[in-house]
Amino acid sequence: MGEEVVRNKKVVLRHYVTGFPKESDFEVVTGETVSLKVPEGSGAVLVKNLYLSCDPYMRGRMTKHEDPSYVFDFTLGSAIVGYGVVRVVHSGKPNIAEGDLFWGMTGWEEYTLIENPESLFKIKYNDLPLSYYTGLLGMPGFTADVGFHEICSPQKGEYVFVSAASGAVGQLVGQFAKLMGCYVVGSAGSDEKVELLKNKLGFEEAFNYKKETDLKAALKRYFPEGIDIYFENVGGAMLDAVLANMRMNGRIAACGMISQYNLEKPEGVHNLFYLTTKRIRMQGFLVSDHYHKYPEFEDRVAQYVREGKIFYLEDIAEGLESAPAALIGLFSGRNVGKQLVAVSRE
């Protein structure tokens, strides 16, 4: 009896991108097939992809670099790669069984052969929505936790500002700050998102940055005594305005700078001398450096969810065909909450 072979729909990058990505930069390919068994003697696992995570860092992988940074560029014609939630179909590893659920790096396709399954995280809490492992309980949630608690060293009562505050990471930073007793303000790109921040996510205040002609004055309005902690997701003009409004010994966690990703020439930042005069600590970080602490995070945040202490917004696109539009929508702020793609709910 021959092994079962099925068609494997996948999302590929057609060519490398400069400027803002477009749907036409991607293609959904349906012709290729995949075996539903791992090769004989292999330690790989074959997985069915259930949910895929759309994340801003993926923009860097769409451009060809002579010297790639912390992640490699996408390979043209192959399925693009990102975080996702998967179910094991066939395993070459004795400690991984058919039906096991994991999250980690996988292909933007229906089925993926993962050669290094030790890179995956086994999902501990099946009673919570599996989609949460693309966000709240996955890489973005852990990014928020590490960036806020480890990098920013928060204290109760401090003044916290979060940019891109309704996104996958920002919405959680704000809620972690509230749980610590901090005063939290967020910025977002629409009035709808501002209302969500204030009414659903518990931020004291929020503002639509697109309606502000002077960001420095806007921040002074919301933080008359200055900012202790800034969780940086945006860069550019927002970072400049924040530096002018920071308090002495403030901390900035540089998580991302989405305003710069599609620019061929990044914007300059003019207020960096405030780092010196105000003794500000600004630190970049990669969440992958901290994954050894993930199990404690998973336990703690799963408990927050059960106790109703965390509210989580998801924006779910249905089907692989919708994946390119969902991914590029991140860069125009089209998503409300964590953007992900449901490939299969089975």
Give the pLDDT confidence of 35-73 residue by residue, as tens digits. 888 888 888 999 999 999 998 888 888 888 887 667 788
Give me the domain span that covers residue 237: 139-288
- Is there a domain that residue 293 lies in? no
- Is there a domain that residue 175 lies in? yes
Q: How many helices (H) and strands (E) does the chain have?
A: 8, 17
Same domain for 274 and 236? yes
Q: Which residue has the tokens 């704000």?
A: 174
- Is there a domain that residue 248 lies in? yes
H or E stretch at 279: none
- Is there a domain that residue 264 lies in? yes
- Is there a domain that residue 307 lies in? no
Q: Which residues pair with 208 in a beta bridge?
A: 188
Same domain for 145 and 128? no
Same domain for 124 and 152? no
The Cα–Cα gap between 238 and 242 comes to 6
Q: How many CA atoms lie within 13 A of 198 on its CB side?
A: 12
Output the domain CATH number for residue 79: 3.90.180.10
The Cα–Cα gap between 2 and 24 comes to 38
Same domain for 272 and 169? yes
Q: How many CA atoms lie within 13 A of 101 on its CB side?
A: 17
Q: For residue 2, name the pLDDT band (cuts at 50, 70, 90).
A: low
> Of 93, 85, 139, which is closest to residue 112 (Cα–Cα)?
85
E strand intervals along 276-319: 281-284, 314-318
Domain count, the chain: 2
Is the whole model's pTM more than 0.85, yes or no?
A: yes
Same domain for 279 and 153? yes
- Is there a domain that residue 308 lies in? no
For the cut 60, the answer to whether the pLDDT of residue 1 exceeds it is: no
Output the domain CATH number for residue 172: 3.40.50.720
pLDDT in tens, 274-318: 999 999 999 999 998 999 999 999 999 999 999 999 999 899 999
- Is there a domain that residue 21 lies in? yes
pLDDT in tens, 220-268: 999 999 999 999 988 889 999 999 999 999 999 998 887 777 777 888 8
The Cα–Cα gap between 324 and 111 comes to 18
Same domain for 143 and 268? yes
Same domain for 274 and 163? yes
